[in-house]
Structure 1
Amino acid sequence: MKIPAAAGFVTLMLFCLVHAEICPLSCTCKPLEEMKGWLVDCSSKGLKEVPALPVNTRKLYLQNNSMTTVRTGAFDNLQNLEEVNVSDNPWNCDCDILYLKLWLEDFSESFIANVICATPASSERKPLSQLSGNELDSCRKSLPIKCLNFFWRDLALITFAVVVLILTSFLLNTTEFPRKHLRKIVLCV
């Protein structure tokens, strides 16, 4: 009788060690259907960012935390995910939230419906699903446009080419202009 109890204790300890290694400290993890994945509950923990998650997470609850954005790639390794809840967080709907928006749109339209923007003021209380890339602050970053410099340079080159063509045409059509002068002009250009 002592051997089965000891074996059970060792099995329980091994399960706890494996469980402790894969479950984020601030979350609660429960096995689903004979170890075919995990329910990871990180709700109401005051989290400011998504913790490292077990690869075989099937259900993920991150609602009611202090997350304002999700780092790019945070959910990319969760291939078995079936359910996610990220509602009730103070989402900052600027360009950094674009990863979450695109990921949720690919994952499921129903889950993105509950993501409501808290900031900036232009997006406050709007669902993330209704914002386009142009409405997400800082996605419209001004690119350093130096077209004006190219415009003036190109205009000068075109003007020079037109003047040369007009002069050449004029000189070729003029019968009074000696050919020896034409050769000197062409050689100079």
Structure 2
Amino acid sequence: MKIPTAAGFVTLMLFCLVHAEICPLSCICKPLGEMKGWLVDCSSKGLKEVPALSVSTRKLYLQNNSMTTVRAGAFDNLRNLEEVNVSDNPWNCDCDILYLKLWLEDFSESSIANVICATPASNERKPLSQLSGNELDSCRKSLPIKCLDFFWRDLALITFAVLVLILTLCALRKHLRKIVLCV
């Protein structure tokens, strides 16, 4: 039996450290060839949230977990991602799912096509791709201002600005008369 040298031990530790940085604990990661990134398979692991992922992730499988939402920004650093699967999760299609919806729409139509809502009851079994912001519970409540509200607010601001301008011109005019009379 050969005893590992210090250099061999350090190499092994570095490999484990790099692999741990690339591969989340409960996932299976496979290299996609030299300098081509990683396949990260986190499917069927009972995950409730997206794990921390390496920027070198190219293929990501998160299907068949217990995720109900995705925190905003969870996929923003994955610039090299080519494939993602988030289907078969009990998605809660309220306003908090809006980040995932918009991100998937930008990423690919096929990725969002298989995302089906589990809750709330009003969106149960509906594809996320077919829901608008108004159909996502609580999104409507966060946008209470209507166009008419903007009109009255803008009208008040414009009126105030015109009034200030008129008063400034009147004050300037009086001041200019004094200057002209002195000359």
Q: CA deviation at 1:107?
A: 0.2
| 1:33-58: CA deviation from partner (whole Å, max 9, x where unpaired) | 11420111111111110011011100
- Deviating more after overlay: 25-34 vs 48-57: 25-34
Give the Cα–Cα distance (whole angstroms) in 2 for the partners of residues 181 and 27 of structure 1: 77
Q: CA deviation at 1:18?
A: 0.9
Q: CA deviation at 1:20?
A: 1.4
Residues 129/5 of structure 1: CA separation in 2 closer, same or farther (3 Å cut)? same
Give the Cα–Cα distance (whole angstroms) in 2 for the partners of residues 142 and 76 of structure 1: 24
Q: CA deviation at 1:116?
A: 0.2
Q: CA deviation at 1:147?
A: 12
Which 4+ runs in 1 deviate beyond 3 A?
1-13, 142-168, 179-189
Q: CA deviation at 1:27?
A: 1.1
- Deviating more after overlay: 136-145 vs 69-78: 136-145
- Deviating more after overlay: 24-33 vs 64-73: 24-33
The CA RMSD over aligned residues, in Å, is: 6.7
Give the Cα–Cα distance (whole angstroms) in 2 for the partners of residues 154 and 6 of structure 1: 72
CA contact 2:37–2:58 (8 Å) conserved in 1: yes
Residues 61/188 of structure 1: CA separation in 2 closer, same or farther (3 Å cut)? farther
CA contact 2:22–2:56 (8 Å) conserved in 1: no
- Deviating more after overlay: 53-62 vs 35-44: 35-44
Q: CA deviation at 1:16?
A: 2.4
- Deviating more after overlay: 135-144 vs 155-164: 155-164
Give the Cα–Cα distance (whole angstroms) in 2 for the partners of residues 25 and 152 of structure 1: 55
Q: CA deviation at 1:31?
A: 1.1
Q: CA deviation at 1:24?
A: 1.1
Q: CA deviation at 1:183?
A: 25
CA contact 2:30–2:39 (8 Å) conserved in 1: yes
Q: TM-score, structure 2 length as denominator?
A: 0.73
Residues 188/42 of structure 1: CA separation in 2 closer, same or farther (3 Å cut)? farther
- Secondary structure (helix, strand or coil) at the match of 1:60 reads strand
| 1:144-168: CA deviation from partner (whole Å, max 9, x where unpaired) | 6799999999999999999999999
- Deviating more after overlay: 37-46 vs 134-143: 134-143
Q: CA deviation at 1:15?
A: 2.1
Number of the residue aligned with 1:185: 179
Give the Cα–Cα distance (whole angstroms) in 1 for the partners of residues 91 and 7 of structure 2: 48
- Secondary structure (helix, strand or coil) at the match of 2:55 reads coil
| 1:47-84: CA deviation from partner (whole Å, max 9, x where unpaired) | 11001101110000000000000000000000000000
Residues 184/98 of structure 1: CA separation in 2 closer, same or farther (3 Å cut)? same
Give the Cα–Cα distance (whole angstroms) in 1 for the partners of residues 176 and 10 of structure 2: 102
Matched, 1:152 2:146: no
Residues 17/154 of structure 1: CA separation in 2 closer, same or farther (3 Å cut)? closer
- Work out the percentage of aligned pairs sharing the same amino acid: 94
Structure 1: runs of 5 or more not aligned: 169-178
1:1-189 counterparts in 2 under 5 A?
A: 11-141=11-141
